[in-house]
Structures are given as C-alpha cells and as structure tokens.
Amino acid sequence: MPEFTEFSRQGARSGGSDPMFTLQARGLISFNQAAYEALGEPVAVALLYDPKEGVVALRMVPKAYENAYTVRKQQQAQSYLVGAQGFVAHYGIPTRRARRFTGRDYGDGVWGFDLNEGVAVQNRRGGQAGPPVTDCWRATSDGFEVPGLMNMNHKAMSHPGYMRQPGQEPPLVRVGMLVACGPLGEDPPTSEVRGRLIGFLTYAPVMELINALSVIGPGVAWAPWGGHGRYSFEAALTGESDQEAPYASGLLVPPRGSAARYGSDSRFAELVLDIEPRGPQGGPAQAADLAAWHDRFAQALKLPALFEHFLANELGLSTADDPPAQVGVWLKARNITDLVDIKGLQAVRGSMMSNQFTGWAVADPNGKEPGGTSLDWLTSMCDHTLHLDGYEPVLADIEAADRPR
C-alpha cells in the first residue's frame, strides 16, 4: 500500500497570497510579498509588542521616524527583512529556532503574529532550521564535503604587492570560512559594507591571530582595496606604499542569490584571510613549533563565530545551520619547515615532506571544540605533510597543557 503524506496548508500559504511572517533565528523578522503589501509597502516599520498576549506587530512609519526599522528586500526573492535583534533581546522573545506565522490584521495598518501559533521552519534535511553551529567542529579530509574550501587556495588577492617572480613567494598562511545566510540585498550600501568589513577585520580575535603569525610594523592599518562592487569586498593591512605586499588581506564574498559569481556557493557568505608571516625586520618570520601551531589553529577555528555575528548583526543577513558552517587553513612555503619547526623530530625514511598543508572542518553540534579540532589538524599535518615519526608524545603534551585545570 502507498505511504501517503498529508499536504500541509501551512506550507502552501508560505508562498501564496496570505500574509506570512517568519521570526528567524537570532532575531530577524522576514515577511512575504502579501504581508509587504498589507503593511502599505513600507520603507520602514515600527515594531510593536503585547507581552500579555504574546503578539508581535509591525506598522509602516517614515524612514526618519525615531523608532523606525529599515525594511530590506531580499535579493532574488519576493520577501522582505527587518533586523529586530535589539527588539527580541529587550522583550526576551526566544529565537533559537526559526518559526513561521500566518499574519493577522490588527487594524489601523497594523499587521503581526501571535507567538503561540508559530510553526517551526524545516531545513533541507527535514529538521528544524536554526542558527549556525560555530563552536563545535568535525575535521574532514573529504573535499567533496567542503567544495568551497577546496577553492580557497585559488582565491587571488588583487594587491600588486603579491605579484612576485616564481620561486620568490614568501611563506603564506590562509584561513577561509563559510557561513550559510541569505543573499545580500541593496542595503547596506556598498561603501557601508566596505567600511563594516574593515571594522570586522580590526576585531581583537582577528588581529590576535594575525599578530600571532606576524610582527606588524608601524604605520600599518586596514584599508579598502580592490573588490568587485557588491560581488566581493577586499581590504589590505598595509602602510602607505601601494607596491609593498600587505601584511594581510581580507576577502568577503557575500551570497548574491542567482547572481553568484563563478566558484562561489550562493548559499554561503565566504571570508578569506591571507597572512604573510613576517619577523621584526620585515623578512619571513621564524618557524613556529607544533604547540604554537596548535594555538594558531584554535584561534582560526574560533573566527567563524565572529564572522556569523558580523553577518547577522552588521550586515543584517539571516544566517542558518543548513548547510553547516565550514572553516579551513592552508599553509604554503618553499619548504614547510620554513613555517613549522619540528624541533628534533625526524621524518620517516623514504618519505618526502610536502610544501603545503590543508586542514578542513565542518560544523557539527556533536563535534569537538576548537582545541580538539586543532589537534586533529596537527595529527594530519604530522602524518601527511611532515611524515614525522614519534610525534604522538608531543601532541599528548600539547593536549594535556590545553585541558582546563
């Protein structure tokens, strides 16, 4: 006998003529074209709340109104978005899981929804959609799981200082991360996105990783550089010279729906950090031991959480856990020991060290914290890049030192 599934009228309404609202994870409110028209096609709304009844509502207001929230159209979709993080935080409205609501007309141009009537939004795997996991990871060597990260080492930064003669390239460390989110619409404006990227790159966790890899000279700061309109945004950590290679570069590729550029997954926002490790005199930095690389990898694994916060709170994008977030590192040098000091450990006879190492990880609520995933990457480096013999006690000591006391 056939196994029938009853059709959900709630699912049908989400794309039909009924006004529908969705309270997204992390406090974003989205609504469909019917709700937009019912509200009077607003450029801004005021947010209303009845705590006794548990009703959230919106009404159209001028953009100059003191309590106005800007309405942004989602790119390539007949839906609209309002960033309401402060609103839901103030009233303690739970937003752990996205929920969809049928809109209600409360009169006088006020439309909203009853928080007691929401239906959980399903993700592509059939589970409830929620905010991205960015604190637990599962290391993987399967490139088919992380096709976006596989392209990380092919990303080209546009600063002319990177144009070197073959064989003269200095050691390089690259960190890439992808977080699923909605497409970038027309707001914030291009220049504002560029400025907010600079702000993100100056956040302490980003600069702490860069400073752990490189000694930054005086008169150096983040500045916008290159980019391709709203398709990609680039910045360089550099001084006044336009010819000297930057200490670091950052590349942001936001999702643009069906207008995504070749080589980018339209479901993700992507960030790539490119860092040249330098010493106090400006030349290549000294190689660091495995313990130092453990700390650096752990720092890199903490950055996707900051990136997700940037996407949701600085760009107002609706982030999600499907597909799961991804993060990777890429080390490259003429000799990998220019970057990694193996401190007396020996390679297995007959093996040949690679000149690069790649580590990938996929977000997993049952995965490991950054310190544990960092150890997985170190193990892979010792086995497949350095081909070291007898490294296990060194990693055991690193793990022991990393345990909470």
The series of mean pLDDT values per 10 residues for the chain, 405 residues long, is 55 62 82 94 95 93 93 75 85 80 94 89 56 90 86 79 74 95 86 95 96 92 88 90 88 73 73 94 92 97 95 88 92 95 94 95 92 96 96 95 72
Nearest Cα neighbor of 14 from 32, 30, 36, 41 is 32
- Would you give the distance in Å from CA 387 to the centre of its chain? 32
Instruction: Write out the DSSP string of 46-71.
Output: EEEEETTTTEEEEEE--TTSTT-EE-
Spatial CA neighbour of 284 closest among 167, 160, 171, 175: 171
For residue 111, which phi and psi values (nearest 5 degrees)? -125, 145
Q: For helices 370-380 and 392-402, what crossing angle results, to 10°?
A: 170
Residue 117 β-bridge partners: none
Given the DSSP bridges, would you call strands 288-289 and 340-341 parallel, antiparallel or unpaired? parallel
What confidence score (pLDDT) does residue 131 get? 76
What pLDDT score was predicted for residue 348? 96
What are the φ/ψ torsions at residue 364 (nearest 5 degrees)?
Answer: -155, 120
Determine if the pTM surpasses 0.75: no
Q: Where are the domains of the chain?
A: 9-120, 137-402
* pLDDT 10s digits, 354-381: 999 999 999 998 899 999 999 999 999 9
Give the pLDDT confidence score for residue 13 in this predicted structure: 42
The sign one gets for the Cα dihedral 220, 223, 225, 231 is: positive
| pLDDT reported for residue 10 | 46
Q: Which residues of 327-337 are buried (b: 16+ CB within 10 A; e: fewer)?
A: bbbbbbbeebe
- CA 306 to mean position of chain CA atoms: 7
> 339: exposed, middle or buried (C-beta count within 10 Å: 0-12, 13-18, 19+)?
buried
Q: What is the CA radius of gyration of the chain?
A: 24
pLDDT digits (tens, 9 = 90+) for 132-155: 889 999 999 988 888 888 888 878
Q: Which SS3 state, helix, strand or coil, does residue 128 take?
A: strand
Among the listed residues 358, 154, 136, 132, the one whose alpha carbon sits nearest the alpha carbon of residue 267: 132
